[in-house]
């Protein structure tokens, strides 16, 4: 009797005592695993279906009430929402359509319109039935994958002209088990090809893939009731917006999984993304940020401690991955990740990061003074980098008159730059993910006399306005604010206020668009993070979804289709409320066209910009690939072309710095590893974008001499009420 046949016999014997999914959809569906497998795994294991608890049912009822009556989005629980929950839940459990068949999905057609009423009353069994089926199908798929590997990867055909779809999130469900077998054979071939192209031998590849699938299989057998409940509740809450979510009691301890502000780790915020754990953002001043290689939207494949073998974490729970990444200060953790710009999921890179704590001073604002020579005129441009909006709340509450904060530090830096004779100022908010709201409010106050800075609209439509009530101004000269896609939340409030007041120009790329406010509310079992308010600019437009649109745009390598509020499912839309009275310090309409023309003229001849454009085009080509070849020779040629392009771009950048080019991609990667170990990586885009910000400041001075003096109390045009 084969392994599969023994498993069928055991399950048939045990089925009479089981409840839930097996009674709901029948024993035949439970036994949908194909016969004849010979995977070398523990054949005594049987998946035990998980069941909801009374505490979970009570928490479900509380969550449903909170969503209906306190969420910013006014939405009831009805049949239409029930269908949305069903689709969101399947996306959460099988987002790439690789486990379930169309027949499996059709089994639940009857409950599709009934989930809403069940969720209102804490009837969790339908959600658990779906979860148990998916877990069973995951086990079957992994068993099939191991059976393929047992036959040896040398039996796979890499000569056929086959392809595999890169992203299956919009694919149709496969018709039956045979179709899934074909798909998974292609997935295995794809994984083997990627490792062969990375010059691994077949024995190492087989060992690596077996470890991966066996690890996932072990976790599938270890599924817990809490896993099902958290998955189901997060599918439910996501219908309101992507920032509303349920935290299990354990996940509540790791709220936002910010591993560096209070615990030793790498300084990254993580979230679950189908089978993967994804990097959401890096904490400024943290080990990962300083190391320089890890990027937002990278997905973690494996984690290794020091010199130990890596542990594959595909399919792991988020809290388990976090536990692996955390560790004692000065120890090294190595992450294997799929880069955000990878053309497919088999392309990975390895990043070693030394764990540490993030110190407040490493997140502090800092300054530079750059010199620009322009047609015989010299300009000194001050630059202030603000990585986050911070405040030492403990020192503040203790009454320390010298407590650190963004606003206090920037005020001091401005004075130091003025003492050094700066002619204009650039505030760099790129990659600033936000922070303390009151600091964004106070920072705006350094550049205006007084007035409103942001409006906050609550779920009951009540609008609250935050104001700068300090009439003192730290700096009233020409100003540019640099932003990119990772500038979010408090950064967007500051940039939007500077733009609305006509106090300066925003330069760079469209910001993230995070314009909502969440509160964490305790439940009898875990916590609910729920969106309760929304930010609006003083001009009335929300920062939600649209973010801040720059006055002068500079393209970025960051993929806007994967990073940003408008890339998230069911994000709250942009809208507008009444503007509040505010001052316009300067009307840029008379000079903005000339400013843009000068900027475009400079960039047309800028080797740094041309190189950036080339790199963006290359990355876009990789992102737009819908499928990859499974033919070895074809794939090898594509791989070599990608490597040649990477090397060409890296060498072009080195030549701009007057450095010797690399003779191979291996030399480039070795250099990158050395730079990372020294925490001495250089981002050339930041350097030339800062210089361009300085040139735009100089253009502002040249085109309107009312901006020349920074020593007079007021050098802008007379204030006029905002329209």
Evaluate the CA torsion angle 481, 485, 491, 493 in order and state its sign.
Answer: positive
Whether the pLDDT of residue 137 is over 90: the answer is yes
- Mean pLDDT, range 71-96, rounded to an integer: 94
Q: What DSSP assignment string belongs to 525-569?
A: SSEEEEEEEEEE-TTSBBSTTT----SEE---SS-TTTSSGGGST
Do 183 and 221 fall within a single domain?
Answer: yes
Taking the C-alpha atoms of residue 58 and residue 141, their distance in angstroms, rounded to an integer, is 34
Residue 30 has pLDDT above 50, yes or no: no
pLDDT tens string 346-361: 678 889 999 887 665 6
Q: What is the largest CA-CA distance in the chain?
A: 92
pLDDT given for residue 362 in this prediction: 67
Task: Output phi, psi for 171, to 5 deg.
Answer: -75, 160
DSSP per-residue string spanning 210-270:
HHHHHHHHHHHHT--HHHHHHHHHHHHHTTT-TT-EEE-HHHHTTGGGBTTTSS-B--EEE
**Domain co-membership, 51 together with 100:** yes
pLDDT for res 264: 58
Given 320, 354, 388, which residue is the final one in a domain?
354
Same domain flag for 42 and 113: yes
d(CA 189, CA 183) in angstroms, rounded, equals 10
> CA-to-CA distance for 489 and 517, rounded, in angstroms?
9
Among residues 632, 631, 612, which one has the least CA distance to residue 620?
Answer: 612
Q: What is the pLDDT of residues 141-196, one digit of tens each?
A: 999 999 999 999 999 999 999 999 988 999 999 999 999 999 999 999 999 998 89
Domains identified in the chain, total number: 3
Task: State pLDDT tens for residues 310-329.
Answer: 888 887 888 888 888 888 88
pLDDT over threshold 70, residue 21: no
Predicted model pTM: 0.85
Q: Is 375 a catalytic residue?
A: no
Tell me whether residue 489 is one of the annotated catalytic residues.
yes
Among candidates 348, 344, 346, 351, which has minimal Cα distance to 294? 351
Q: Which of 670, 690, 696, 668 is nearest to 608 (CA)?
A: 690
- Per-residue pLDDT band for 23 (boundaries 50, 70, 90) equals very low
Give dist(CA 252, CA 527) in Å, integer.
6
Top-ranked range on mean pLDDT: pick from 92-106, 620-634, 660-674: 92-106
Q: What is the CATH number of the domain that holds 692?
A: 3.90.226.10
CA 617 centroid distance within chain: 22
Q: Which of 500, 551, 559, 699 is catalytic?
A: 500
Alpha helices in 558-606 (DSSP H): 592-604
How many other CB atoms sit within 10 Å of the CB of residue 565? Answer: 24
CA distances from 294 to 263, 372, 541 (A): 19, 33, 34
For residue 314, the enclosing domain spans 246-354
* Pair (305, 438) in one structural domain: no
Residue with the two structure tokens 């306005």: 465
500 is catalytic: yes
Is the pLDDT reported for residue 680 higher than 50? no
Q: Of 237, 270, 300, which one is at a domain's C-terminal end?
A: 237
433 burial (CB, 10 Å; 0-12 / 13-18 / 19+) is buried
Q: Is 721 a residue whose pLDDT tops 50?
A: no
Q: Is residue 329 part of a domain?
A: yes
- Look at residue 220 and tell me if it is in a domain: yes
The side-by-side arrangement of strands in the sheet containing 505-508 is 366-374, 377-385, 424-428, 479-483, 505-508, 552-553
The reply to whether 261 falls in a domain is: yes
Which residues make beta-bridge pairs with 101? 174
Radius of gyration of the chain (CA): 28
**What confidence tens digit (pLDDT) does each residue in 376-401 have?**
889 999 999 999 998 887 788 888 88
Give tens-digit pLDDT for 480-490. Answer: 999 999 999 99
pLDDT band at residue 706 under the 50/70/90 scheme: low
Looking at the fold, whether 184 and 276 belong to one and the same domain comes out as no
Same-domain pairing of 369 and 329: no
230 and 278, same domain (yes or no)? no
Q: Which residue has the higher pLDDT, 557 or 342?
A: 557
Within a domain: 673: no
Those residues with Cβ within 8 angstroms of residue 584's Cβ, 6 or more apart along the chain or in another chain: 501, 502, 719, 720, 721, 722
Q: Indicate whether 108 pLDDT > 60.
A: yes
Residue 18 pLDDT: 36
CATH number, domain of 324, equals 2.30.42.10
- What is the predicted pLDDT for the residue at 627? 92
What is the Cα–Cα distance from 539 to 536, expressed in whole angstroms? Answer: 8
Q: Quote the tokens at residue 343.
A: 């053309």
pLDDT digits (tens, 9 = 90+) for 449-479: 999 999 999 999 999 999 999 999 999 999 9
Residues 127 and 273 in one domain: no
Please indicate, yes or no, whether residues 190 and 48 belong to a single structural domain of this protein.
yes
Q: Of 298, 319, 354, which closes a domain?
A: 354
Which helix (H) or strand (E) is 667 found in, with range? Answer: helix 665-677
Q: Residues 584-636: pLDDT tens digits?
A: 999 999 999 999 999 999 999 999 899 989 989 988 888 888 999 999 999 99
Residue in 290, 514, 534, 546 annotated catalytic: 514
CA angle 699, 701, 703 (to 5 degrees): 65
- Asked whether residue 645 is assigned to any structural domain, the reply reads no
Q: Encoding tokens for residue 533?
A: 């308010």
170 lies in some domain:
yes
Q: Would you place residue 344 in the very low, low, confident or very high pLDDT band (cuts 50, 70, 90)?
A: low
**Pair 228, 298 in one domain:** no
What share of the chain in percent tops pLDDT 90?
Answer: 60
Options 245, 489, 556, 676, the catalytic residue: 489
pLDDT range class, residue 267, cuts 50, 70, 90? confident
Residue 429 has pLDDT above 90, yes or no: yes
- Please state the rounded mean pLDDT for residues 652-656: 87
Q: Is the confidence at residue 256, as pLDDT, over 70?
A: no
Q: Is 302 inside any structural domain?
A: yes
- Whether residues 456 and 542 fall in one domain: yes
Do 146 and 284 fall within a single domain? no
User: Do the domain assignments include residue 206?
Assistant: yes
**How far out from the chain centre does Cα 582 lie?**
35
- Give the torsion through C-alpha atoms of 105, 108, 111, 115, to 10 deg: -50
């Amino acid at each position: 009797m084969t392994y599969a046949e023994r498993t069928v016999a055991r399950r048939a014997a045990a089925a009479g005592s089981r409840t839930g999914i097996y009674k709901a959809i029948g024993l035949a569906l439970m036994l949908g695993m194909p016969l004849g497998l010979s995977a070398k795994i523990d054949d005594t294991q049987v998946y035990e279906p998980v069941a909801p608890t009374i505490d979970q049912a009570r928490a479900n009822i509380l969550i449903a009430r909170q969503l209906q009556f306190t969420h910013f989005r006014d939405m009831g629980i009805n049949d239409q929402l029930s269908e949305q929950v069903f689709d969101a839940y399947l996306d959460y459990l099988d987002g790439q359509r690789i486990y379930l068949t169309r027949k499996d999905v059709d089994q639940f057609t009857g409950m599709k319109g009934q989930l809403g009423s069940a969720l209102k009353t804490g009837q969790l069994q339908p959600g658990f039935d779906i979860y148990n089926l998916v877990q069973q199908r995951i086990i079957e798929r992994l068993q099939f994958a191991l059976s393929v590997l047992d036959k040896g990867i040398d039996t796979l055909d890499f000569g056929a002209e086959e392809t595999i779809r890169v992203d299956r999130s919009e694919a149709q469900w496969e018709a039956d088990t045979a179709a899934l077998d074909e798909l998974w054979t292609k997935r295995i071939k794809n994984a083997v090809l990627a490792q062969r192209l990375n010059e691994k031998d077949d024995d190492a590849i087989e060992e690596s893939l077996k470890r991966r699938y066996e690890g996932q299989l072990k976790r599938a057998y270890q599924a817990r009731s809490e896993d099902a409940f958290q998955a189901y509740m997060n599918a439910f809450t996501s219908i309101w917006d992507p920032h509303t979510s349920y935290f299990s009691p354990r996940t509540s301890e790791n709220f936002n999984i910010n591993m560096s502000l209070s615990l030793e780790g790498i300084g990254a915020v993580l979230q679950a993304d189908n089978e993967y754990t994804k990097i959401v953002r890096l904490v400024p001043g943290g080990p990962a940020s300083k190391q320089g290689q890890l990027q937002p939207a990278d997905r973690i494949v494996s984690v290794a401690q020091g010199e130990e073998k890596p542990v594959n974490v595909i399919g792991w729970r988020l809290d388990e991955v976090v536990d692996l990444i955390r560790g004692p200060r000065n120890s090294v953790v190595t992450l294997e990740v799929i880069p955000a710009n990878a053309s497919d999921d088999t392309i990975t890179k390895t990043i070693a990061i030394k764990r540490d704590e993030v110190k407040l001073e490493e997140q502090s604002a800092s300054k530079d003074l750059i010199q620009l020579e322009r047609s015989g005129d010299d300009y000194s441009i001050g630059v202030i980098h603000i990585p986050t909006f911070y405040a030492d709340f403990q020192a503040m509450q203790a009454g320390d008159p010298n407590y650190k904060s963004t606003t206090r530090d920037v005020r001091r830096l401005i004075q130091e730059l003025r003492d050094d004779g700066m002619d204009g100022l650039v505030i760099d908010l790129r990659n600033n993910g936000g922070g303390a709201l009151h600091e964004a409010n106070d920072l705006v106050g350094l550049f205006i006399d007084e007035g409103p800075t942001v409006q906050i609209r609550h779920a009951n439509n009540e609008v609250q306005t935050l104001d700068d009530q300090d009439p003192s101004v730290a700096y009233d000269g020409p100003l540019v604010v640099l932003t990119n896609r990772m500038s979010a939340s408090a950064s967007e409030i500051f940039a939007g206020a500077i733009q609305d007041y006509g106090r300066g120009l925003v330069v760079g790329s469209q910001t993230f668009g995070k314009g909502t406010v969440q509160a964490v509310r305790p439940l009898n079992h875990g916590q609910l993070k729920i969106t309760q308010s929304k930010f609006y600019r003083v001009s009335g437009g929300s920062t939600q979804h649209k973010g801040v649109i720059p006055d002068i745009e500079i393209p970025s390598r960051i993929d806007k289709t994967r990073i940003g509020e408008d890339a998230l499912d069911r994000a709250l839309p942009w809208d507008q409320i009444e503007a509040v009275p505010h001052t316009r310090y300067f009307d840029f309409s008379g000079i903005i066209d000339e400013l843009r023309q000068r900027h475009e003229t400079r960039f047309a001849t800028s080797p740094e910009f041309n190189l950036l454009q080339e790199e963006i085009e290359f990355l876009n080509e990789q992102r737009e690939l819908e499928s990859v070849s499974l033919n070895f020779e074809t794939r090898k040629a594509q791989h070599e072309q990608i490597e040649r392009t990477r090397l060409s771009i890296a060498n072009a950048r080195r030549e701009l710095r007057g450095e010797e080019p690399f003779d191979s991609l291996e030399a480039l990667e070795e250099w990158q590893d050395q730079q990372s170990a020294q925490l001495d990586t250089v981002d050339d885009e930041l350097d030339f974008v800062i210089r361009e910000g300085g040139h735009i400041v100089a253009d502002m001075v040249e085109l309107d001499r009312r901006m020349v003096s920074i020593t007079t109390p007021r050098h802008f045009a007379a204030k006029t009420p905002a329209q």
